[in-house]
Structure 1
């Protein structure tokens, strides 16, 4: 049996969400578990368009097996009108086979997002990503206010998950509080996953 890993699954056309994914992965590793970064391809308006099997840059594309075999999940997307991006929703819409067999029931999960403006729908996007995870029976984790960065942040950061204010051009780097919250979320996910693995043991 392979060692448990946490899947960090995200969609990103720009660097902000991918940067967050890497900081969350660092937090997972600080919590003593392996993090696997995966992304999803863009949704094309052309019916016959086919994306390459392996993206030109960044993380590999996710498969249902990545979800099936993970011990926990961090799910991320930039905000699209207060909701998750279509490519991530499209991928999640294709997970009904996992729902039918209960493959994700009882696994911990957390969410993260980035927005162009400070009040651009961070919290509603995080909540939109939680809905399919709840339908899958996953155990949802947020960020507690014992994380001091949650009280001190002037950028992203919510109790529903990690967030980032990327700016209108998408180029604003993560600040120290946003990084701290990404890593805290990853570590909390790893700690919870390890405890569940031990109890199932």
Structure 2
């Protein structure tokens, strides 16, 4: 069994909806399991101590979830062309996993949502890739022969799925498809790579 961690932060629900579609793609592959996890908000004044269990939605992630996954989908809303502080804060705590090489050789992909077409989809995806590369993860993109990637008029990039909620909070069919494709690719890659590194 390959466990794919879908780790995300979502404020208004767009990124959470994307995570659910990625999970469906993961679970379309025999032998793969999707684990949905989120991170608590952080305070701008001082570190916020959050309850260990959120009021609703996915459970909070732990470093053990990250260490024990066979693949990772990392998602965040776009905040001025960058990932949200809450997700960055969690990733900054992953230094012990970097020292041990726990994530090296595992497949990873990224996804984002934003309120406008030019809100920084691609720079946010790239910003999320940087810590994953430092961990030695193998980054997966969306394939150029995926029709939904060529036909979308809202979200979607070669770097990973994206969602534009400018006109409608619901994901378009193309956006849903691209999330599903990322999940499927991560599951297949994780199964193929399991134990290879």
Residues in 2 aligned to 1:45 and 1:190: alpha-carbon distance in whole angstroms: 36
* Counterpart for residue 11 of structure 2: 13
1:51 deviates by: 1.2
Secondary structure of the corresponding residue to residue 84 of structure 1? coil
Secondary structure of the corresponding residue to residue 73 of structure 1? strand
The reply on whether 1:177 has 2:168 as its aligned counterpart is no
Contact 2:15 2:76 in 1 (8 A): yes
- In the alignment of these two chains, the number of paired residues is 196
Residues in 1 aligned to 2:43 and 2:118: alpha-carbon distance in whole angstroms: 28
Unaligned runs of 5+ in 1: none
Residues in 2 aligned to 1:106 and 1:49: alpha-carbon distance in whole angstroms: 33
CA deviation map 1:113-146 (0-9, x unaligned): 0010011100000000000000000000000111
* Counterpart for residue 130 of structure 1: 129
1:48 deviates by: 6.5
* Counterpart for residue 96 of structure 1: 95
Normalised by the size of structure 2, how large is the TM-score?
Answer: 0.96
CA deviation map 1:139-173 (0-9, x unaligned): 000001111000000000000000000127xx521
Residues in 2 aligned to 1:158 and 1:49: alpha-carbon distance in whole angstroms: 34
Secondary structure of the corresponding residue to residue 78 of structure 2? strand
Secondary structure of the corresponding residue to residue 159 of structure 1? coil
Residues in 2 aligned to 1:129 and 1:10: alpha-carbon distance in whole angstroms: 11
The reply on whether 1:195 has 2:187 as its aligned counterpart is no
Normalised by the size of structure 1, how large is the TM-score?
Answer: 0.94
Residues in 1 aligned to 2:84 and 2:128: alpha-carbon distance in whole angstroms: 10
1:200 deviates by: 3.2
Aligned-residue RMSD, C-alpha:
1.4
Secondary structure of the corresponding residue to residue 83 of structure 1? coil
CA deviation map 1:73-108 (0-9, x unaligned): 000000000000000000000000000000000000
Secondary structure of the corresponding residue to residue 80 of structure 1? coil
* Counterpart for residue 166 of structure 2: 167
Contact 1:31 1:188 in 2 (8 A): no
